[in-house]
Amino acid sequence: MTEAAEALGVSRKTLSAILNCRAGISPEMAIRLGKAFDTSPESWLNQQMHYDLWQAEQAVGDIEVKRLSVA
């Protein structure tokens, strides 16, 4: 973990939070990961967005809304 954090230019605490799902991948981290792994930052942000949406869908039973109609 120390070596990876140093390579990314972040603290061990920051990397640990991401790896343990206590923090998401920010645009800045996506750029760092893209450069480190020769991938696009968009691919990292897309994965984060899909994970966030999945998390929200797990709680969908707890979300109450009224249907709106478009005039």
Number of domains in the chain: 1
Could you give the CA distance from residue 65 to residue 15 in angstroms, rounded to a whole number?
Answer: 36
Q: Which secondary structure element, helix H or strand E, spans residue 4, and what is its range?
A: helix 2-8
Domain membership of residue 44 (yes or no) is yes
Domain membership of residue 11 (yes or no) is no
Per-residue pLDDT, 65: 87
Q: How confident is the model at residue 17 (pLDDT cuts 50, 70, 90)?
A: very high
Contact 29, 10 (CB under 8 A): yes
71 or 29, higher pLDDT:
29
Domain membership of residue 68 (yes or no) is no
Q: List the domain range (segments joined by +) for residue 35.
A: 25-57
Domain membership of residue 70 (yes or no) is no
pLDDT in tens, 22-70: 999 999 999 999 999 999 999 999 999 999 999 988 888 778 889 999 9
Domain membership of residue 67 (yes or no) is no
